[in-house]
Every structure is written in C-alpha cells, then in structure tokens.
C-alpha cells in the first residue's frame, strides 16, 4: 500500500494525463511533497490545485478505483514466488521503482554491496565498487522509512519490527540473470541502516588464466596444480582474493585429472563447485577445520582444500595429510610468501616436515584496474618515479579520468598482484637451517622469485593499475 500511503500523507495525487503526468494538490499539501515527487517521478508533471473538498473526493475515488487490488497482488507475488523480476515489474509505487532502479544500476556497475544510510536530513545510498565504498545518491529522509519497509517486504522480514537487527534474503531476476541478495537491517539513532549484498554466482569463479598472474608465475602455479601430493599455500590479508585463487586451482585440477577425488572443508562455502564435495565448518556440532579434516582423510581423497590454517592442530593434520600422499591446498594469514614458513614454524611444525611437504606459496593482493573507457596517459612525476624505483626521466603512466561507466572513480574491475614462491631443492635446504623470511626471500630472488612489489610495479607500467592504487594496497598491510 505504499503509493496510497504516500498520496494520503502528502496530500497529493498523481494520475496519467494525455501528454504528461497530472499532479493534483491542495492548500495544505506540504512543500516537501513536491520535492519527493520530483525525486521519485524523474519526469515532468503538470500541477493542478484543487480546493480541499474536491481534493478529498478525488483521493477517495482514486483509492477505491485503482490501487488496492494491484498492490495486494504484488505483495502476494513476492511472498509466493520468492523471485522478484525487477525488469518486468511495472509497479507505479515510487518507492518500488526507486529501489528497483538502484538494484539495476548497482548490478550493472558490478557493485558487491548497496548501503542505505539514514542521516539527520538525508538518506544516503552508497555502492561498494571493486572493494571501495562510493557515494551513489541522496534522497529525502521523509521517504526513508518507506524505503526500508519495501526492502523488508521484498526479503520476507518483519516490517513492524524496528528495534532489532534482522537478516533476510531476496532472489532477484534481472533479464535472464538470477541472483540472490543478502539483506541486513540494523537499527541506529537516525533509523534503520540497510545493507544489501549482491551475491552474483557466475561472475566470481575465475580460471587460473584470468587471475592476472605473470607468465612465469602462471607456469609455477600450473606446476603446483599438477603435483600428486604436497602442501600448497595461498597467503594474504582478508579480502585479498585468496579463495578465488584456490577455486581456480581446483577447477584446473578437476580439468586435468577428472577422476581425482576432491573434498573441501570451508568456512563458509563461498561458491558451489559442481563435482566437488564441499563441507561447511560448523562449530556448534563440533565440525571444525581439524575434525572435518580428520573425517575427510577417511573418505579416500586425492586433493583436499582446507579453507584456512588457523591453529596448530589444523596445521599438524594438514602437514601429515600432505606427507601421506595427498595434495593439500590451504590459506594462511601472512603478508608475503616467505613468512608462511616462519608462521608454520611458529605453530610448532618441525622445519624438516615443512621442507619435505611444502611445494609452493602464493601471496597476493587485489588492485583496482584502470577503467578502460576513460583511461588516459600522462607523464610520471618525479615522486612517482622514485616510488616505482625508476631512474629513467620520461616515463608514461596511466590513470582513469572518471566517466559514467566507473561512477567517476576511474577504476573498473580488479586484478591480483602476486608473488609465487616455488620451494625448490635449494630452498628446502635453507628451510632446514632457518625460518627467517628475509633469508629465504634472498635465496628465492636468486632463483628468479618476483616480489609483490615488483609484480605491482610491472602492472603500473603496463597501464593496468595506477601508482596511487598500488601504493594504497601495499600500505594497507
Ligand atoms: Zn571510467
């Protein structure tokens, strides 16, 4: 009943006219009603003033004739089908159109989250694009409660409950694409904050070729995937794209060796991969990484993915699985590749065990790519040259000017920067002697190991990303 409520509260009526929309108002129509209307309609309308009696009669007729039935059907549709087809929804309720329009734009821009923030005077819509929150638009606080109610109806939440946090889900149909939106509502002093997370299954599973590895690094990772047994680690902070890399490796292993038995234990299972048995960690029933891993070992696996090695027990079982003929893939929370060895030793793993089973470590970060629609060349400043460690005087760099395709940010999409440590015979000998990351790095460099920084610089010079983005990502550690 949103539209009727809106008309009643604001003492305003919108009707289709011959050429344009007709808006009826009366002497006690509040000034902000026109502002809201301009915002929601987004097209010209013709104003006509009625006296109070005429207005009430018209409003009553309007309510009786048109809307009740239609609105009711629409609400029912959301509850029954559970999939909201937003392109073919021809609702006249302004709030519905407003939310649909934001979801459509957000999805086309490739946003991962939509934030609705209540303020003192204005509501704010922000989008998370390539990991960074960007202001998208503002709207009058007067309609904020209706926006929240509408989202609650769409996601099956309790509209009347305004004091407790709530979580829900919406299934959206956008043309021939269907995806889920996870909804979180949190009460704050100005009103309820809403975050919609767009879970777009088909865009996230990348192949190894698409990750952004240099040719040399790609070859190393391909060799890791072909190993019959051993331990492979992916490291980096949260949000560095570690799972994407692990899944890409699993996809390659599945393609190369279709008969291998692949089992994962994850927290959470982020993407469902057909043909792979995936186990979700659930501490409430005693299913942890460690206990899950023990059970998996009795399932005759060839390849095991352990979401994360967080504790000594999981580290210990993973190492033993790798030593007894399994290929074990996992992640560790370290900033670079050589430090993974230091961390395992700190967790109580004997260096000779690490030396005998560790085959490779991939460290990574995600950087935003320059938007290809507004990319421009410019001469590098002296400061930028010294940051990049380049002594040549005339170097061209690239940046995005900002355009409608990238919401003015100059960036569109992300790619990885990597360092890939292949544990060679020589490195195994070093690991037996020391767990010092600097010493390990220096030996690896002699064998052609390229650091995260070097890979980043090469991506800046190739015009894939900017100097400022590269610096910001490395400084985040
Ligand atoms: Zn652009």
Handedness of CA 214, 416, 423, 266 (dihedral sign): negative
pLDDT range class, residue 72, cuts 50, 70, 90? very low
Q: Does residue 200 carry a pLDDT above 80?
A: no
The pLDDT tens digits of the residues spanning 351-389 come to 999 999 999 999 999 999 999 999 999 999 988 998 888
- Residue 82, pLDDT score: 54
Q: Does residue 348 carry a pLDDT above 80?
A: yes
- Residue 88, pLDDT score: 58
Q: What's the 211 CA to ligand 1 centre distance in angstroms?
A: 21
For the record, the structure tokens of 12 come out as: 């305003």
pLDDT range class, residue 53, cuts 50, 70, 90? confident
Q: Which residue from 313, 328, 412 is spatially nearest to 368, judged by alpha carbons?
A: 412
Q: Which residue from 428, 446, 407 is spatially nearest to 135, judged by alpha carbons?
A: 407
Q: What's the 212 CA to ligand 1 centre distance in angstroms?
A: 20
Handedness of CA 183, 186, 190, 191 (dihedral sign): positive
Instruction: Choose from 238-242, 304-308, 471-475 the range with maximum mean pLDDT.
Output: 304-308
Are 164 and 188 in contact by the 8 Å Cβ rule? The answer is: no
Q: What's the 458 CA to ligand 1 centre distance in angstroms?
A: 22
Per-residue CA distances from 46 to 13, 37, 56, 98, 449 (Å): 11, 12, 19, 21, 69
- Residue 476, pLDDT score: 77
Are 136 and 127 in contact by the 8 Å Cβ rule? The answer is: yes
Q: How far apart are CA 43 and CA 142, in angstroms?
A: 20
- Residue 173, pLDDT score: 82
Q: How far apart are CA 108 and CA 21, in angstroms?
A: 29
Q: Does residue 20 carry a pLDDT above 80?
A: no
Q: What's the 460 CA to ligand 1 centre distance in angstroms?
A: 17
User: Tokens 């809307």 label which residue?
Assistant: 67
Q: What's the 413 CA to ligand 1 centre distance in angstroms?
A: 11
- Residue 274, pLDDT score: 82
The pLDDT tens digits of the residues spanning 140-159 come to 898 899 999 999 999 989 99
* pTM for the whole structure: 0.74
The 21-25 sheet, strands edge to edge: 12-16, 21-25, 45-49
- Residue 253, pLDDT score: 96
Q: What's the 457 CA to ligand 1 centre distance in angstroms?
A: 22
Supply the DSSP string of 147-166, one letter for each residue: HHHHHHHHTT--SS--SS-E
Per-residue CA distances from 191 to 10, 97, 446, 474 (Å): 21, 21, 59, 37
Q: How far apart are CA 449 and CA 442, in angstroms?
A: 9
Enter the DSSP assignment of 274: T
- Segment 311-316 shows an average pLDDT of 95
Per-residue CA distances from 265 to 75, 197, 288, 305 (Å): 40, 24, 9, 6
- Mean pLDDT taken over the chain: 88
Q: What's the 374 CA to ligand 1 centre distance in angstroms?
A: 4
- Segment 410-425 shows an average pLDDT of 95
Q: Which residue from 198, 209, 191, 281 is spatially nearest to 245, judged by alpha carbons?
A: 209
User: What percent of the chain shows pLDDT beyond 90?
Assistant: 62
Q: What's the 411 CA to ligand 1 centre distance in angstroms?
A: 6
Are 363 and 335 in contact by the 8 Å Cβ rule? The answer is: yes
Q: What's the 114 CA to ligand 1 centre distance in angstroms?
A: 20
pLDDT range class, residue 446, cuts 50, 70, 90? very high
- Residue 21, pLDDT score: 77
For the record, the structure tokens of 109 come out as: 């821009």
- 311-327 per-residue burial string, b: 16 or more CB within 10 A, e: under 16: eebbbbbbbebbeeebb
Q: What's the 409 CA to ligand 1 centre distance in angstroms?
A: 7
Q: What are phi and psi of 386, to 5 degrees?
A: -70, -35
The pLDDT tens digits of the residues spanning 394-416 come to 889 999 999 988 989 999 999 99
- Which strand (E) or helix (H) includes residue 285? none
Q: How far apart are CA 303 and CA 226, in angstroms?
A: 11
User: What percent of the chain shows pLDDT beyond 70?
Assistant: 91
Q: What's the 105 CA to ligand 1 centre distance in angstroms?
A: 15
pLDDT range class, residue 310, cuts 50, 70, 90? very high
Q: What's the 134 CA to ligand 1 centre distance in angstroms?
A: 14
Are 396 and 379 in contact by the 8 Å Cβ rule? The answer is: yes
Q: What's the 101 CA to ligand 1 centre distance in angstroms?
A: 21
Q: What's the 386 CA to ligand 1 centre distance in angstroms?
A: 27
Handedness of CA 36, 41, 44, 50 (dihedral sign): negative
The pLDDT tens digits of the residues spanning 165-190 come to 999 999 888 877 788 899 999 999 88
The pLDDT tens digits of the residues spanning 73-130 come to 444 444 444 566 666 555 567 888 889 889 988 988 889 899 999 998 899 999 999 8
Q: What's the 42 CA to ligand 1 centre distance in angstroms?
A: 25
Q: Which residue from 368, 347, 344, 204 is spatially nearest to 270, judged by alpha carbons?
A: 204
Which ranges of 280-436 does DSSP label H, i.e. alpha helix?
Answer: 289-297, 312-323, 339-346, 351-357, 382-388, 425-433
3-state SS assignment for residue 409: coil
Report CA dihedral (333, 339, 344, 348) to the nearest 10 degrees.
-120
User: Tokens 């087809």 label which residue?
Assistant: 85
Q: Does residue 201 carry a pLDDT above 60?
A: no
């Amino acid at each position: 009943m949103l539209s009727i409520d809106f008309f009643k509260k604001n003492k305003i009526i919108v009707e289709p006219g011959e050429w344009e929309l007709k808006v009826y108002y009366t002497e006690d129509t509040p000034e902000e009603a026109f502002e809201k209307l301009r915002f929601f309609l987004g097209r010209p309308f013709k104003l006509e003033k009625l006296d109070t009696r005429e207005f009430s009669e018209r409003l009553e007729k309007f309510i009786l004739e048109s809307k009740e039935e239609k609105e009711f059907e629409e609400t029912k549709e959301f509850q029954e089908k559970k999939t909201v087809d937003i392109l073919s929804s021809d609702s006249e309720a302004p709030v519905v159109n407003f939310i649909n329009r934001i979801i459509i734009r957000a999805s086309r821009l490739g946003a991962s989250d939509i934030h609705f923030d209540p303020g003192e005077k204005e509501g704010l819509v922000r989008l998370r694009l390539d990991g960074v929150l960007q202001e998208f638009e503002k709207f009058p606080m007067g309609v904020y409660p209706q926006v929240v109610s509408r989202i609650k109806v769409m996601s099956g939440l309790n509209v009347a409950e305004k004091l407790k946090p709530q979580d829900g889900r919406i299934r959206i149909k956008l043309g021939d694409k269907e995806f889920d939106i996870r909804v979180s509502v949190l009460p704050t002093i100005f009103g309820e904050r809403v975050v919609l997370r767009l879970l777009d299954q088909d865009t996230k599973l990348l192949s190894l070729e698409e990750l952004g590895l240099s040719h040399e690094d790609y070859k190393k990772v391909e060799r890791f995937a072909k190993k019959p047994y051993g331990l492979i680690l992916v490291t980096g902070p949260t949000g560095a794209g570690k799972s994407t890399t692990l899944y890409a490796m699993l996809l390659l292993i599945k393609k190369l060796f279709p008969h291998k038995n692949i089992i994962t234990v994850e927290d959470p299972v982020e993407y469902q991969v057909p043909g792979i048995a995936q186990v979700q960690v659930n501490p409430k029933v005693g299913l942890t990484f460690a206990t899950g891993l023990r059970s998996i070992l009795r399932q005759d696996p060839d390849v095991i993915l352990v979401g994360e090695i967080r504790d000594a027990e999981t580290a210990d079982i993973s190492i033993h699985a790798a030593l007894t003929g399994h290929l074990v893939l996992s992640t560790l929370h370290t900033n670079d590749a050589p430090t993974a060895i230091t961390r395992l030793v700190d967790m109580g793993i004997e260096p000779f065990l690490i030396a005998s089973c560790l085959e490779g470590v991939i460290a990574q970060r995600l950087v935003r790519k320059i938007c290809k629609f507004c990319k421009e060349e410019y001469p590098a400043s002296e400061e930028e040259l010294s940051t990049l460690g380049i002594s040549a005087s005339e170097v061209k760099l690239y940046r995005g000017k900002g355009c409608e395709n990238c919401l003015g940010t100059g960036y569109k999409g992300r790619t990885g920067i990597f360092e890939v440590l292949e544990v060679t015979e020589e490195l195994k000998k070093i690991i037996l002697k020391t767990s010092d990351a600097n010493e390990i790095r220096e030996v690896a460099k002699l064998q052609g190991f390229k650091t995260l920084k070097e890979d980043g610089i090469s991506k800046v010079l190739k015009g894939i990303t900017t100097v400022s983005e590269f610096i910001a990502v490395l400084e985040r550690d």
